[in-house]
Amino acid sequence: MDMSSNFIKTIMEEDLASGKVKEIITRFPPEPNAYLHIGHARAIITNFELAKMFGGKTNLRFDDTNPVKEDAMFVEAIKGDIEWLGYHPANVLFGSDYFEESYERAIMLIKKGLAYVCDLNAEDMSKYRGTLNTRGTDSPNRNRSVEENLKLFSEMRDGKYNDGEKTLRAKIDMASPNINMRDPVIYRIIHINHHNTGNKWCIYPMYDFAHPLQDAIEGISHSLCSLEYVDHRVLYDWFVEKCEMPHIPHQYEFGRLNITNTIMSKRYLKQLVDAKLVKGYDDPRMPTLVGLRRRGYTPSAIRHFVLSTGLSRINSTVSNEMLENSLRDDLRLVNKRVNAILNPLKVVITNYPVGEIEYLELPNNNENEALGTRTIAFGREVYIEKDDFIDGTPEKGWKRLAKGLEVRLMHAYFVKCEDIIYNPDGSIKELHCTYDPETKSGSGFNARKPNGNIHFVEESTAIPAKFNLFEPLMVDSDADRKLEDRLNPNSWKTLEGFVEASLKDTLPEEKFQFVRNGYFSVDYDTVKGNLVFNRTVELKSSYK
Ligand code: ATP
Ligand code: MG
């Protein structure tokens, strides 16, 4: 979207111009039954950005009309996620705030002969409903008198009946080609404690009935939702009209956002958590906002990503590459670029004085001077990446270290590998190198060229750290396959290595670019002396 043009914005402009609406008021209506994921971010961003664009406002309204699945814990989590994304609701409201008013409107429908109490159980009701090809059958209770309906409905409220024993249904059209219009249930009986209203109610309005009334009461001008509600729109309009709501809101649908190699449905996310296939809702591999945050995603990267996917009337699946790129764009110039060795190999520089350490000053980000400088240590023993050394004769074009080759340790000196020291088991213990004092970085030395530039961390000042590296959670995007079969067994790998001393006081959620290794964020598991980093994304797209 960039929000500069999209079909909903056009509708809003026209509605304002024609005087159909005076102010743009939108709402985001999550059910407090799960953590938000990046698909929800599209709904949040769309609602808030559009309202903001027209000087309007956006409510956060918890759709808490189904107490069976809801939990107050999710209310707080969702509020936190929205604030984190950078949005501040004009009002925080609850569907349950309107229970009394919905009840009054239901009575109005009964009095108008437009609603009746039905005794069919769930199974029979679905039989009576008919199919796409066959019309429905009238409930035996469809023609109850207004008086009887009023009495029964009031008894339902008073708790005289058990769960499922009776429902209140709108009396619309059992022959409608739109199944939503075949006398939909508008109230059901559930004897359960509600997180807001406690035991005050044992009848709860259905979403399709409650939602349009809530929108009308709040003065919502444009009620935006995802595509699956298209066929509910006539019902939405029917309730607004028949309940004689003084304000008339309108519903508009947009396509859902999906991302490749992940799953975005609440049901599946819950399954992953419950089966302990991930470490929780904030597992850094999860597409939840708390997971993305822990992984190192910034709110602005998510906003830019969502805006760049546009808004259309069809569901779309977007490559996770796009999401990764938006993080790189966001952090490239603002992160410090520091040294970390993820997979260490020790190097002893045999001709460097024992016990001596020198400090080299370097920019925090060579593309952004404003970030200042810091010093890193150099000494007789350093760590390099295992991958930067090859034991044996390297292939042509090898730009790193091997026995007999010379490379530059970035910002320090040229070192040449003289010897490989092995452990008894045949693995490499350390490399013995010599350095050339003439080659100090910045000295202007140009008598010969090194075989490459590699980074390092000095041994005595190095801080041990763990690095969590991720791959997509799912091997494919095929939602029809079994969850267990789609899990990527390599989605989480932890390496143990070192970071440079300047990182000793870092705090959770601080972000860095590790030279040659990617963008990393400090994990919540970090405590002093035990640093844990999550790799948010690699430096370059790994797209194949
Ligand atoms: P469920 O998984 O139970 O169907 P939901 O994902 O629709 O639930 P809600 O809490 O009802 O979750 O969602 C709040 C709002 O977020 C709804 O208006 C819904 O349309 C929107 N939304 C949810 N997922 C997406 C998505 N992937 N893309 C765009 N909007 C979404
Ligand atoms: Mg929903």
User: Which has the higher per-residue pLDDT, 24 or 275?
Assistant: 24
- 31 catalytic? Reply is yes
Band of residue 474 on the pLDDT scale cut at 50, 70, 90: confident
- Cα–Cα distance list, 430 to 345, 396, 423, 451 (Å): 6, 24, 9, 20
176 alpha carbon to ligand 1 midpoint, in Å?
Answer: 27
Q: Which atom of ligand 1 is nearest to the CA of 32?
A: 10
Question: 422 forms bridges with which residues in the sheet?
Answer: 428
Q: How far, in Å, is the centroid of ligand 2 from the Cα of 82?
A: 17
Going by alpha carbons, the residue nearest to atom 26 of ligand 1 is 39
> What percentage of the chain carries pLDDT values higher than 70?
99
The C-alpha atoms of residue 277 and residue 257 are separated, in whole angstroms, by 24
What's the 263 CA to ligand 2 centre distance in angstroms? 16
Per the residue annotation, which of 13, 31, 471, 509 is the catalytic one? 31
Ligand nearest the Cα atom of residue 33: 1
Report the b/e string of 390-404 with b at 16+ CB within 10 A. Answer: beeebeeeeebbbbe
Q: Where are the alpha helices (DSSP H) in 243-348?
A: 266-274, 289-295, 299-308, 320-331
For residue 282, give both structure tokens: 């904030």
Do the strands 531-537 and 463-470 form a parallel or antiparallel pair, or are they unpaired? parallel
233-275 pLDDT per residue, tens: 999 999 999 999 999 999 999 999 999 888 888 888 988 999 9
Which ligand 1 atom sits closest to the C-alpha of 33?
Answer: 10
Q: Which atom of ligand 1 is nearest to the CA of 257?
A: 28
Ligand nearest the Cα of residue 230 is 1
Nearest CA to ligand 1 atom 1: 266
**What's the N-to-C CA distance of the chain in angstroms?**
27
Ligand 1 neighbour 265 (Cβ under 6 A): yes
Q: For residue 221, what pLDDT is reported?
A: 98
69-102 pLDDT, tens per residue?
878 889 999 999 999 999 999 999 999 999 999 9
CA-224 nearest atom, ligand 1: 18
Q: What is the pLDDT of residues 496-532, one digit of tens each?
A: 999 999 999 999 999 999 999 999 999 999 977 689 9
Estimate the share of the chain in helix, then strand, then coil, as percent rounded to the nearest 5. Answer: 30, 25, 40
* pLDDT mean over 178-187: 98
Mention every residue, 6+ apart, whose C-beta is less than 8 A from residue 390.
398, 400, 401, 402
Atom in ligand 1 nearest the alpha carbon of residue 266: 2
What integer pLDDT is reported at residue 462 of this predicted model?
A: 97
> Is residue 26 within 8 Å of 56, Cβ to Cβ?
yes
340, containing H or E segment: strand 340-341
CA torsion sign for 132, 134, 135, 137 is: negative
* Ligand 1 neighbour 319 (Cβ under 6 A): no
What average pLDDT does the chain have? 95
pLDDT of 327 > 80? The answer is yes
Å from CA of 226 to ligand 1 middle = 7
Report whether residue 30 contacts ligand 1, using a CB cutoff of 6 Å: yes
Mean pLDDT of 24-46: 96
Question: In which band, very low, low, confident or very high, does the pLDDT at 542 lie, cut at 50, 70 and 90?
Answer: low
pTM value?
Answer: 0.93
Tell me, using a 6 A CB cutoff, whether residue 45 lines ligand 1.
Answer: no
How many Å lie between the centroid of ligand 1 and the Cα of residue 150?
35
Measured CA to CA, the distance from residue 54 to residue 71 in angstroms comes to 34
**CA separation, residue 539 to residues 61, 251, 373, 518 (Å):** 39, 42, 21, 4
Instruction: For residue 151, indicate whether it is catalytic.
Output: no
Q: Work out which ligand 1 atom sits closest to the CA atom of 315.
A: 28
Of residues 27, 42, 182, 266, which has the active-site annotation? 266
In the reported structure, the alpha carbon of residue 37 is separated from the centroid of ligand 2 by a whole-number distance in angstroms of 12
| Average pLDDT of span 437-462 | 95
Residue 2 has pLDDT above 80, yes or no: no
Return the residue whose CA atom lies nearest to atom 13 of ligand 1: 30
d(CA 44, CA 307): 11
182 is catalytic: no
In this predicted structure, what is the pLDDT of residue 126? 95
φ, ψ dihedrals at 173, nearest 5°: -160, 105
Predicted confidence at residue 543, as pLDDT, reads: 55
The answer, yes or no, to whether residue 1 has pLDDT greater than 60, is no
pLDDT of 124 higher than 60: yes
Q: Name the closest-CA residue to atom 2, ligand 1.
A: 266
Residue 256 CB–ligand 1 contact under 6 Å:
yes
Judged by its nearest atom, the ligand closest to the C-alpha of residue 227 is: 1
Tokens of 376: 């890193």
The domains found in the chain, sorted by start residue, are 7-254 (3.40.50.620), 258-331+463-499+504-544 (1.10.1160.10), 337-462 (2.40.240.10)
Helix/strand/coil for 189: strand
Atom 15 of ligand 1, nearest CA residue: 30
- Ligand 1 touching residue 172 (CB < 6 A): no
Amino acid at 330: D
Instruction: Tell me how far the alpha carbon of residue 31 lies from the centroid of ligand 2, in angstroms.
Output: 7
Q: Which residues contact 324 (CB under 8 A, 6 or more apart)?
A: 537, 538, 541
Q: 235 CA to middle of ligand 2, Å? A: 16
Over 70: is that where the pLDDT of 35 sits?
A: yes
- Please give the residue that has the higher pLDDT: either 480 or 233: 233
Instruction: Tell me what the mean pLDDT of segment 311-333 comes to.
Output: 93
